[in-house]
Structure 1
Amino acid sequence: MEYTKLNVTREDGYVVAAINNPPANALGQPVLHDINDLLDACLNEAGVRAIVITGTGKLFSAGADIKEFSGIQSGDRPKISGHDVFLKIENYPKPVIAAMQGSAFGGGNELAMSCHLRILADSAKVGLPEVNLGIIPGWGGTQRLPRLIGKTRALEVMLTGTPLTAEQALNYGLVNKVVPAEQVLDEAKKLAAKLAKGAPLAIREILKAVTQGLNTTIEEGIKIEQAGSKVVFASEDAKEGGKAFFEKRPPNFKGK
């Protein structure tokens, strides 16, 4: 598949997609369409078990393309919304990792928050500064940030528009790991490679149970977990996992 704003490379078991929309990697319609197409292309591809999303240049992404705002304010409906793409990422059955080699603001931060795991450069900052433009985070930021770092901290970030340092983002639990900028992609690749060797069905059901469970009661969440357990216990991967354990060898999971 051809992409106009993504540099996509295929690795062993996973894909790396780098946003290439200089100078700020703004998430305009072409970028959102490319990410959406990538997700669709990888969904049923057995050889792709994880996706890494990163950026080119100094910024992961500065957010939505402000040049498109005037059309939206005039009533134009975009063909694809950040809401749609980010919800697809959040509910994706394969791990999606944000490799944030640079700062992420607004929609760029909302993109990262929709990913399952996040690695951030130690020199980078992340924030939701929309209030400074007289608008609100409009691609899920008001919902995902409180779920990730708590209501009190999230409100301070959004109401003041003040970005978080990498250290703050790590301490708040917004990102999984902070490393030097030149190591971000390598760390993400190592993580993706490890996940690619995992049990695809188990990973899928964990992602599903956690994502859906957080949006319901614990009783309903346990039902989702139980349904997932039933699926994986009946799989060939579960048999392979037990067999490999007793034979003291690495398992060879095939997603069946």
Structure 2
Amino acid sequence: MEFSKLIVEQEEGFIIVFINNPPANALSTAVLLELEQLLDKCVNDDNVRAIVITGSGKKVFSAGADINEFEDIRSGKIPTTIGQNLFNKIENYPKPIIAAIQGSAFGGGNELIMSCHLRILSSNASLSFPEVKLGITTGWGGTQRLPRLIGKTRALEMLLTGDPISPENALNYGLVNKVVEAEKVLEEAKTLAAKLAKGAPIAIREFLRGVTQGLNTSFEQGLSIEREGSAIVFASEDAKEGVAAFFEKRSPNFTGK
């Protein structure tokens, strides 16, 4: 599949997706649609067990929505549901998606990384939601995902002031999993993706589903989702392989069956 706004590199068991929309990797409608096409292509591809999303260049992961499209967004020609639907798809994707944040992220760029399952941030980067300084609000899930990740009080401070937070605070708040030197961000993400790609696909899928769906429902309903997932996993060939490998003192070979 050919893309004009993405660069895709295949690694063993996973892919790296570079948002390539200079100068600031704005999330234009074209970028969003290409990301959705890629996800649809990879969902049943056994050669893709994990996905790393990053930005081209070193300074900016993504500056968020394309300011050149603001008038079309305001008038309704470009619906906000395009971004919302894509980020919902990322959050509920059955394979782990890692954000390798090699540079600063703003607004919609942060809404993108928050929809990813895991996040690795450069020690030189900052994260912010500057929408309020433009007299607008987030439209792709910022008001919903941010407080779920870092709590209501801190989320409101970020959203109402538009001020950036440091990598240290992003880590302390629980917004990212790890902070590393800028030149190590992608390698760290690739190492993690390679590790996940060797895991049991069905078990990973059910972990993702249980946590993501469970957090958006009641505790009892969440337990029901977990029971359902556990039954599916225990009936899989991967579960038999995992137990056999344990007793035979060898590395398991998970096939996703």
Give TM-score, length-normalised by structure 1.
0.98
- Match of 2:40? 40
- Tell me if 1:193 matches 2:187: no
Distance across 2 between alignment mates of 1:137 and 1:79: 10
| 1:204, distance to aligned residue in structure 2 (A) | 0.1
2:65 maps to 64
* 1:10 counterpart = 2:4: no
Q: Confirm or deny: 8 A CA contact 1:7 1:20 kept in the other structure.
A: yes
Q: CA deviation at 1:80?
A: 6.5
Give the Å deviation of 1:136: 1.1
Residues in 2 aligned to 1:62 and 1:75: alpha-carbon distance in whole angstroms: 21
**Pairs within 5 Å for 1:11-160:** 11-57=11-57, 58-78=59-79, 81-160=82-161
Question: What SS class does the counterpart of residue 81 from structure 1 fall into?
Answer: helix
Runs ≥4 in structure 1, deviation > 4 angstroms? none
Distance 2:74 2:137 in 1: 14
Range with bigger deviation, 92-101 or 74-83:
74-83
Aligned residue identity for 1:131: V
Question: Residue 242 of structure 1 aligns with which residue?
Answer: 243
Question: What per-residue deviation string (whole Å, max 9, x for no partner) do you get for residues 52-110 of structure 1?
Answer: 00001120001000110111222313497110110000000000000000001100000
- Which has the larger displacement, 71-80 or 245-254? 71-80
Give the Cα separation in 1 of the matches to 2:226 and 2:244.
24
| TM norm structure 2 | 0.98
What do the CA deviations read for 1:204-241 (whole angstroms, capped 9, x no partner)?
00000000000011000000000000000000000000
C-alpha distance in 2 between matches for 1:171 and 1:80: 31
Q: Tell me the SS of whatever aligns to 2:124.
A: coil
Amino acid at match of 2:21: N
Whole-angstrom distance in 2 between the partners of 1:193 and 1:75 = 41
AA of the residue aligned to 1:150:
G
CA RMSD of aligned residues (A): 1.0
SS of equivalent residue, structure 1 residue 164: coil
C-alpha spacing 1:136/1:79, structure 2 compared with 1 (3 Å): closer
Equivalent residue for 1:254? 255
Unpaired stretches in structure 1, ≥5 consecutive residues: none
Matched to 2:64, the amino acid is G
Identical-residue share of aligned pairs (%): 69
Measure the CA separation in 1 of the matches of 2:183 and 2:43.
29
SS in 1 for 2:175: coil
Q: Deviations over 1:159-180 (max 9, x none)?
A: 1111111111001010000001
Cα distance in 1, alignment partners of residues 129 and 223 from structure 2: 33
Counterpart secondary structure, 2:8? strand
Measured at CA, do residues 93 and 79 of structure 1 come closer, stay the same or move farther in structure 2, by a change above 3 Å?
same
Task: Give, as a single letter, the amino acid of the residue that structure 2 aligns with 1:23.
Answer: P
1:22 Cα deviation from its structure 2 partner: 0.5
* Residue correspondence of structure 1 range 209-220 to structure 2 within 5 A: 209-220=210-221
**Which residue matches 1:230?**
231
AA of the residue aligned to 1:65: D
Change (3 A) 1:255 1:189: same
- For residues 215 and 107 of structure 2, the distance between their equivalents in structure 1, rounded to whole angstroms, comes to 23
